[in-house]
Amino acid sequence: LGVVYKSQAVQNVLLSLHSEQIASKWVTGPVIRTPAFRELVQASPHDRIVSLVMIGHADESKRLHPHRRRRALHGDVLVDL
């Protein structure tokens, strides 16, 4: 698979997790290239790791942005409820 298809596949996994109210984070970078990580996931020398997806339950007390009120759409102008 090409890089674009792999990215789309990972994004679909993240969207699926979100739809089930499961928190997730897509990680790339140095951590996935370390020998310790490769040993942890039992990757063989010819395996290519493209990302790490962390999953769990969100801590609602640490939410960065409070929920916004939904706005009604009237024509093409948003109006506060």
* pLDDT value, residue 40: 92
Which tokens in the block code for residue 79? 């109006």
Beta strands 52-56 and 23-27 are antiparallel
Provide block-wise average pLDDT over 10 residues at a time, the chain (81 residues): 71 90 87 90 90 83 61 57 42
* pLDDT value, residue 81: 42
How far apart are the C-alpha atoms of 3 and 73, rounded to whole Å? Answer: 39
Residue 69 has φ and ψ, to the nearest 5°, of -70, 140
* pLDDT value, residue 38: 92
* pLDDT value, residue 57: 85
